[in-house]
Amino acid sequence: MLLGCAIGVRAQQVEPMAPYVVGAYAQGSFVMAHTPAVAHLAVSHPTGVEVNIQRQTTGTAPWHAWYRYPKIGLALVYYDYHNPMLGQSFAATSYINKAIWRTARQELNFRLGTGLGYFTTSYDRYTNNKNIMIGSRLTATLQARVEYDVALTDHLGLLLGVAFNHYSNGATTKPNRGINLPSVVLGVNYHQLRNFRPQPDAMVAKPDDIGHYFVNLSASYASKQLRETDQWTNRRYSAFSATVAVGRRLNRKSNLMLGLEGFQDQSLRAAQRDTARAGSNLPDIRKAGIYVGHELLFGRLAFVSHLGVYIYNPYKSNPYYYERLGLKYHFTKRVFGNVDLKVHRAAADALELRVGVKL
């Protein structure tokens, strides 16, 4: 009986109940004119509301302790752009909220999230042809925010924040200039337990693969449009890539990557035919690149960032370098999948769906 009681106490210490936080906020923004082509749309001041719920991590997974017990949340966000060309948007985002500084009654947090958005209106050839920011009603959304929460009572907190919101479809449909929304945030949080203290023994040992090398083999597929007129005919082009990468686990949180990859984008052949003379020899549309990358690890999930240069690029359709941001998830120890945004000089090139194996 005494042994059973000891085991029960030990279980309670290692796996404490995860307290939650519920929030409701108002947001005020402006549309950023990130390129002169969208200046005619950057004339309003959107307003929005958000409701969210987040759970405190408690050490049930090793990465909770590595990141000093962040919160994991889900938010629903509504924006009215006060511009009939842009309409309204609805979004659902999942996010991680990490404390930068925390006392018994105050918190300064950094929040990073991603999800899906839906716009009530988008580019239309006949009725909304000036809306070159949003080419499809369904979009992806990225969100970064710094938040300050100060206690008003034991459970109620006042929240002040500054945020950056981005909506884009990743060039799957044209036009796709995207919407950037710098915002200020004001609201309240309800804390089930404000001053959460994890058990000291929740910290875990270092992973046994730190310092080890591994190889990733992967392939990706993307579907994209080349120009606004492709919407009228519903014309789409396929883009493929194949990648071999060598990685090394640096520490609990990071992998360093070096990769070699090849690309074939069918939209480039269509672009060539638009400008080439009849019978002219067209350069090869295939490309090859080499990249260095980083993976920020959260258990099976990783945030991926790459910077690459083209080492074979006969058809100069883009800058000599490219970037990639994405999310990677390991379904098993060996098999993984990615959703990646490939970018040329801050302009989306393709939204890649990737599968691969780790050797």
- The confidence score (pLDDT) of residue 348 equals 87
Is 187 in the same domain as 262? Answer: no
- The confidence score (pLDDT) of residue 278 equals 53
The residues near 329 (Cβ < 8 Å, ≥ 6 apart) are: 300, 301, 302, 336, 337, 338
Residue 233 within any structural domain of the chain:
yes
Residue 4 within any structural domain of the chain:
no
Is 179 in the same domain as 212? Answer: no
Residue 87, φ and ψ in degrees, nearest 5: 70, -135
Is 291 in the same domain as 178? Answer: no
- The confidence score (pLDDT) of residue 166 equals 94
Which residue, of 175, 196, 217, is where some domain finishes?
196
Residue 8 within any structural domain of the chain:
no
- Mapped onto helix, strand or coil, the DSSP state of residue 40 is helix
Rounded CA-CA distance 149/359 in Å is 44
- The confidence score (pLDDT) of residue 16 equals 58
Rounded CA-CA distance 358/97 in Å is 29
Specify the CATH number for the domain of residue 106: 2.40.160.20
Is 189 in the same domain as 212? Answer: no
Tell me which amino acid residue 96 is.
I
Residue 75 within any structural domain of the chain:
yes
Q: Give the pTM.
A: 0.86
- The confidence score (pLDDT) of residue 251 equals 93
Which residue, of 140, 162, 196, is where some domain finishes?
196
Residue 292 within any structural domain of the chain:
yes
Is 125 in the same domain as 24? Answer: yes
- Mapped onto helix, strand or coil, the DSSP state of residue 266 is helix
Residue 99 within any structural domain of the chain:
yes
The DSSP letter of residue 41 is G
Residue 42 within any structural domain of the chain:
yes
Residue 202 within any structural domain of the chain:
no
- The confidence score (pLDDT) of residue 204 equals 66
Domain count, the chain: 2
Residues of the chain whose pLDDT is less than 50?
A: 1-14, 202
Rounded CA-CA distance 184/162 in Å is 5
Is 63 in the same domain as 116? Answer: yes
Which residue, of 196, 216, 250, is where some domain finishes?
196
* Number of Cβ atoms within 10 Å of the Cβ of 24: 13
Please give the structure tokens belonging to residue 132: 């070159």
Owning domain of residue 76: 18-196
